Amino acid sequence: MTLTENISRFSQCRVLVVGDLMIDHYVWGEVDRISPEAPVQVVNVRSEEDTLGGCGNVVNNIVALGGSVAVAGVVGSGRYGQLLIERLRTLGVDVEGVIREPERPTTRKTRIFASNQHVVRIDRESRERVSKETLEKLAAEAEKKLPASDVVLISDYGKGVVTRELLRRICDCARKHGKITIADPKGMDFAKYSGVDVLTPNKKEAGLAAAIDISDDDTLHNAGEKLLDSLAIEMLLVTCGKDGMVLFKRGARPYRIPAKARQVYEVSGAGDTVAAVLGLAVAAGANLRDAAALANTAAGVVVGKVGTATLSQKELEAAFKPSGDRTVSKYKQFHDLPVLVQELRKKGKKIVLTNGCFDLLHAGHVMLFSASKQLGDVLFVATDDDDSVRALKGPGRPVIQARERVRVLCALDSVDYVVIFSSGRLKDLIRTIRPDVLTKGSNYDSEEVAGRELVETLGGRVALVPISEDTSSTRIISNIRNTMD
């Protein structure tokens, strides 16, 4: 089975996630002065958001990739505990295993970004072990959900939920039902993870647990072999950031999986993506080498996004495409747009939108796209679907079907993203993308541009791009037909 075939089977997989549930709170702002009260930056807040963190981000990644999830964890009884449960339910997650502990705060991490730079993090949490009563409820729920799951992911953030007792009960139950357990560890004492099938520390964690200063491949291999020898685990996958991953298995030589170089915006949550993809791939029937390769590639995608991020099956599949074929990564469906636009806004990108039939691409279109791109950072091209073109242009149109038009548009360097839309949904498209600039050719009058009022209401503007070429798709098609006649 190929890697992409494994990805396509993610939607058939059921995963049990056990661990520390958190809220990741993001504050986005700008800095233009120093406080007169102390030598610190003053952040003018422009937006805030709450997302699922900790093992909640593992859950979020699994759902984004099409998998089904049951989660077992602990939250407080306050409003953030309720918020967390509501967010999980919105994703369609089984939350019967989420236990409320009255006196316990829901872990909340606030990250403050100024001009797209992470400047400070504020933690609100308890690291005390959960009560015996909570532990019993949690273990019982995990044992109940485990038989129907394909794999168990244990995400330990050291907040007192993943205890030796809980791990022992989960591992015993997993062995009884023939399920694989994968644990993302925390802390220096790895002995409590004895019994899991796969352990996934990062290089720093592995070095501390093995009491070896990892400085090169030899010391890394020594640390990996020492952990395998001292722990009752089958395999060890050490994540090494920009250097990829190394897989250790009893009786086999260490296997390195290199990483692709990518621009890094934020590394928080990359380990959660690794755990999610590793678990899904194993559940889909992949061997651990292939599963690790998929997880490694997925992590490379999410570190290029701002904040605690996820990725879709399509994004993961696109990451395995040759770098010259950008069609898959540029083409977006309507439901992909909200998350994509949010990411672009976080990075401070100025968005330009242009739309049309683009039935037969010609020099005027190329000039339009090139000039539009110069008005911002990112250019979205929205092309009408086949029914819309037919309604607008009449019988015999489109000459080129929408999917082929997309491939041609995606081949242009000036075009960043392409979406197919129905002309009746133009306002929905504008509301979703909220373009800073909507462009049309100068053969239009600004008052005639469909969607102009909505764009301006949303704070954008319409720009008419000078087009000197006196040509159109309709005229070209008519000339071809006349020549054939």
Per-residue model confidence as pLDDT tens digits over 141-188:
999 999 999 999 999 999 999 999 999 999 999 999 999 999 999 988
More confident residue, 185 or 320: 185
Query: In the chain, where does the domain assigned CATH 3.40.50.620 lie?
Result: 330-484
Residue 35 tokens read as: 């406080």
Q: Are 246 and 256 in contact (CB under 8 A)?
A: yes
Pick from 49-58, 93-102, 358-367: least confident? 358-367
Q: What is the pLDDT of residues 118-130, one digit of tens each?
A: 889 999 999 999 9
**Residues 330-484, CATH architecture:** 3-Layer(aba) Sandwich (3.40)
**By 3-state DSSP, what share of the chain in percent is helix, strand and coil, each rounded to 5?**
40, 25, 35
pLDDT of residue 264: 45
Reported pTM: 0.74
Candidate from 216-220, 323-327, 366-370, 430-434 with smallest mean pLDDT? 323-327
Look at domain 3-23+51-100+127-320 and name its CATH class: alpha beta
Query: What is the phi/psi pair of residue 23, to 5°?
Result: -110, 125
- Give the residue numbers marked as catalytic: 272
Check residue 254 and give its pLDDT.
93
What is each CA distance from 481 to 314, 360, 398, 399, in whole angstroms?
Answer: 39, 14, 14, 12
- Would you say 157 and 19 are in contact if contact means Cβ atoms under 8 Å apart? yes
CA 127 to CA 398: how far, in whole Å? 62
Spatial CA neighbour of 412 closest among 319, 326, 328: 326
Q: How much of the chain, in percent, has pLDDT values that exceed 70?
A: 90
What's the chain's average pLDDT?
Answer: 88
Pairing of strands 245-249, 255-257: antiparallel
**CATH code 3.40.1190.20 region(s) in the chain:** 3-23+51-100+127-320
